[in-house]
Structure 1
């Protein structure tokens, strides 16, 4: 008999269609051939691409909205709320991978040619410190004003470096060098001397 061939149908001797329940194929139930398990490292790189790292929120003392003063220490820090691990999990057939981004260092480019690298978010200034004291862990002292710069301000750029630790599928690893960035204009003025007679 001349049987019309159908996609996905299995055929026996003389082209006779075989019952699907006796010879299951992929997606038809029964013991299908196992699919290849994805490489966890490949899945991890995909998770890293989907991670949303928080943008740094820049804080200074004197306040970043006011003028800094030449030869007076500037304190720098990031909003502590962003200095925390960020995690994401992705599951594909056969493997689940969790990636956690951990902030490591902050690189401040101060706009005057100086670069400051801080090991953490920095210490927020408070009234317990003297007004002319230097930050214990993240600060800079400008030696010249920002007069003549675009908008009369230095452009301060901040880059946070993150390491991403991942595990899943019986494997683990680290993907270093992820970045989140921000910038802010910072005016720097010459301190005016007060003459007392």
Structure 2
């Protein structure tokens, strides 16, 4: 993408230089401001993709890092014969700018913009920012934990623990939302790709499914897709419980405004479970 942007700008500069030569003007350089045939850089708009506002519990955002976009004015201008750049506009009545973003056009299309002489370029809609706005409106929550033994109850050392999470649009997905601005609409769809369970005893379990909710008919079987077995009682710990933390990773695919991409969000929920030695239960 960086190569594409450089090539486009390079072509514009060659045309600009040719137009300048035809007019009998030599290329000029203004120290500190311009590079090659008055290639001046002026940023008139800047975008930053920020993280989602936490909705519940302990939540973090792992969205795109800083993204900056801006305009480069092409001066001297290419000749009128450069129709692909001018798009039918009259060079005598318009100026030519190049719009680009720090991602090299990967998620935010860059290209030439024709602006009437004397006017400033209008801020371009940043599809990635719209995608983040759509995500922010989804109210993505931490996992809706369903664990056996239940919080408030007691489980046994060496017995299977079953972990599962509720499957709703806000806790598992899919969750779809759109955001619009300047005639551009971006649609984003979020789904949980995995849940990492920190069991409180120094171990963790990664589950790529919501897990299976335990039923009494399962007896002493182990969970087929998301389970754990404690080897030590929680009664020896401060508070007498294990703090179980479930961290979900949301993957959000978005498209619109001639671009597409992917964002990630992280959400966390936790509960406390009590695990005791079997003889303590039987006493």
- For the aligned pair, the TM-score class normalised by the smaller chain equals 0.7 to 0.9
Deviations 1:32-81 (A, max 9, x none): 98844312123223433444202312111222321111000100101233
Q: Out of 138, 141, 145, which is 1:54 matched to?
A: 141
Indicate if the aligned counterparts of 1:37 and 1:94 stay in contact, CA closer than 8 A. Answer: no
- 2:214 corresponding residue in structure 1: 125
2:228 maps to 140
Higher relative contact order, structure no. (Cα contacts within 8 Å, ≥ 6 residues apart): 1
Aligned equivalent of 1:39 = 126
Find the counterpart in structure 2 of residue 113 from structure 1: 202
Please state if 1:86 is matched with 2:175. yes
Note the residue ranges of structure 1 that are not aligned, 5 or more in a row. Answer: 1-31
Greater helix percent: which structure? 2
Q: Using the TM superposition, name which of 163-172 and 50-59 deviates more.
A: 50-59
Match of 1:95?
Answer: 184
Residues of 2 paired with 1:184 and 1:52: CA distance? 21
1:91-146 CA distances to partner (integer Å, 9 max, x unpaired)? 111311111111110000000001000011101112342x2110000000000000
Task: Quote the residue 1:173 is aligned against.
Answer: 261
Q: Which protein shows a greater Rg?
A: 1
Aligned-residue RMSD, C-alpha: 2.3
- Identify if the C-alpha distance between structure 1 residues 194 and 172 changes in structure 2 by more than 3 Å, giving closer, same or farther: closer
- Equivalent position of 2:69 in the other structure: none
Kept in 2, the 8 Å contact 1:37–1:95? The answer is no
Report if aligned partners of 1:70, 1:188 keep a CA contact under 8 Å in 2. yes
- The verdict on how the C-alpha distance between 1:193 and 1:153 changes in structure 2, with shifts beyond 3 A counting, is closer
Shift of 1:166: 0.5
